Amino acid sequence: MIIKKNDTVKIIAGKDKGKSGKVLKTFPERGLITVEGVNTYKKHIRPKREGEKGDVVSVVRPLRVSNVLLFCSSCNKGVRVGAELKNDKKIRVCKKCGHNF
């Protein structure tokens, strides 16, 4: 998976198309990520004890990696990413401008 935790990504498909945010968590085995403030749903919480009220909570759900692009700060838009070898290390590189991530 190219996208890692704390990367900034731009959503390219779905109900939140055009939004961007920071990656909170990745699930590489399932091809999913959670993005801060994106793909939020309301969840109703049942009261746990007697006399306590129920609640409605906003929950961030994961979305597919194929629906996001890595955000390049120098291009100022979502871009495709390539890999280059530098000092025997793989480095992620912007396909448009060559900026390192």
The number of helices, as runs of H, and strands, as runs of E, in the chain is 0, 10
Q: Is 23 inside any structural domain?
A: yes
Residue 39 has pLDDT above 90, yes or no: yes
Q: Is 98 inside any structural domain?
A: no
Q: Is 85 inside any structural domain?
A: no
What is d(CA 3, CA 38) in angstroms, rounded to the nearest whole number? 16
Q: What is the pLDDT of residues 11-26, one digit of tens each?
A: 999 999 999 999 999 9
Q: Is 89 inside any structural domain?
A: no
- Angle at alpha carbon of residue 34, lines to 32 and 35, rounded to 5°: 130
Rounded to two decimals, the pTM is 0.82
